[in-house]
Chains A and B, each alone.
Chain A
Amino acid sequence: MNPAPNSWRTPTAILIAGCVILTLSMGVRHTAGLFLQPMTVDHGWSRETFSFAIALQNLVWGLASPFAGALADRYGAGRTVAAAAVLYAIGLGLMAYADAPLAFDLSAGVLIGLGLSGTTFAVIMGVIGRHTTPEKRSLALGIASAGGSFGQFAVLPVGQMMITAYGWQSALLLLACGVGLIAPLANALADGHRPSAGAGQSVGQALREAGGQRSFHYLFWGYFVCGFQTAFIMLHLPAFLVDAGLSANVGMTAVALIGLFNILGSFLFGWGGGCYSKKNLLVLIYAARAVAILVFMLIPLSTASAWLFAAAMGILWLGTVPLTNGLVAQIFGLRYMSMLTGVVFLGHQLGSFLGAWLGGRIFDETGSYSLAWGIAIGLSVLAALCSAPIDERPLARAGGAA
């Protein structure tokens, strides 16, 4: 668990490197939407062409996460993160010069999706989890989640400033340089972890074992709901507010409040997971989301209610990340943590895809978001009910494989 004596890769150094990597990776990814208007106008593409590539990116990110996790578990997190950072930077660079939809799908969709799978939660949380004691693990995962949350909050206005100052093509190349910084940072994560080289579980056995546990399925579907709600709210809340007669400024401030309070919430729930039952905190998050959405729907809509709702959702936004990843480590051990958290994250991305798409579809069909909000409340209740029976005890294994 701990680095070799005299190694500079102390748990603190690994945590700081992990936070910076998540800040860059999650932050740059969050700017994608800013390029829609300038790129579609310059290339004469439809908005569907652009949004299909970003939807593809989200799916590739989710589908590749278990494989990226398995690679990190097999060959080490340092190499996996460095390789993924190179793919991510190449994807951004090619995105700047893609002048046909297929080239755009391959760069913005496939390459960046693959890059994200190796530079975000599944791989980073695995290596941080291995280098912290069980008592401090949840807090460390919470700090890392807060790093990713800070990236989402901070890089969006920076990306917009770059586009305004230098144009979208140069902005993409600058962001590629920023993502390129992840590759040398990955050196800090090269901890020499080689679980497959020793005796014990194989990858297949670990997957079969996890698939046979109800708790793993509960975590997967809970994360699915988390992805559904966050994607739906982030995409459709501003439009919902503007449709209701509030100004675009109110919607933008709501988004900023979600980002700001998300940093606090990620840290708080990570810290809480070290002191209290993680599954009970997950129940609390999902139940509180249901209550927050219900109250938001029932009270008269105003600027104050929109901002209060955004702050409440921000607190509850990515608090699920340290708790869900912490539970995977707690129940299944650290040996294949990256791969198993990658599988659970696939559920999150499937939920994100559905939340983003279904919100728009429901609005187009019914002319209102009411049904989508109702589904978000119902799913939240189901996620709370799913989280309650999670068995937090570590799995008992013959031979005591960790």
Chain B
Amino acid sequence: MKPHWRWFLGGLAAALAIVVLALLFAAYQMPELLIDWANLNYCS
């Protein structure tokens, strides 16, 4: 694989990873999860 393609695909993967992590982080703000967080106090 040519170096510029390697850089492109690496950058794409990094960008996708950041988007996925940001979406997951946002998912933690779900009201259902907030309510059920109390459960984890007992048995995480």
Which residues of A line the B interface, CB within 8 A?
30, 32-37, 47, 50-51, 54-55, 153-154, 156-158, 160-161, 163-164, 231, 234-236, 238-239, 248-249, 251-253, 255-256, 260, 263, 356
Contact = CB atoms under 8 A, between A and B. Distances in A.
B28 A253 contact: yes
B1 interface: no
Nearest to B43: A54
B43 A249 contact: no
B28 A235 contact: no
A33 B24 contact: no
B42 A51 contact: yes
A36 B43 contact: yes
B33 interface: yes
17 contacts: A33-B41, A36-B43, A51-B42, A54-B43, A55-B43, A153-B21, A158-B27, A161-B27, A161-B30, A235-B41, A236-B41, A238-B40, A249-B29, A251-B37, A253-B28, A253-B29, A256-B24
Interface of B: 20-21, 24-25, 27-30, 32-34, 36-44
B37 A252 contact: yes
Main secondary structure on chain B at its contact with chain A? helix
B33 A160 contact: yes
Nearest to B40: A33
A348 to B, nearest CB: 15
Given A37-B36, A153-B24, A238-B37, A160 B30 contact: yes
Main secondary structure on chain A at its contact with chain B? helix
- 7 closest A-B pairs by beta carbon, nearest first, are A157-B27, A33-B40, A54-B43, A36-B39, A256-B28, A33-B39, A51-B43
Contacts, number: 83
Given A157-B30, A160-B32, A34 B39 contact: yes
Contacts of B28: 156-157, 252-253, 255-256
A33 B34 contact: no
A238 B43 contact: no
A58 to B, nearest CB: 9
Contacts of A161: 27, 30
Contacts of B41: 33, 235-236, 238-239
Given A256-B25, A260-B21, A157 B33 contact: yes
A157 B28 CA distance: 6
A157 B40 contact: no
B24 A157 contact: yes
Given A157-B24, A249-B34, A260-B21, A33 B44 contact: yes
Given A156-B28, A157-B24, A249-B34, 6 more contacts: A34-B39, A54-B42, A153-B21, A251-B37, A252-B34, A256-B28
A234 B36 contact: no
A47 B42 contact: yes
Nearest to B42: A51
Contact of A234 (B33, B34, B44): B44
A154 B44 CA distance: 15
Nearest to A35: B39
A46 to B, nearest CB: 11
A89 B24 CA distance: 25
A35 B39 CA distance: 8
A153 B17 CA distance: 13
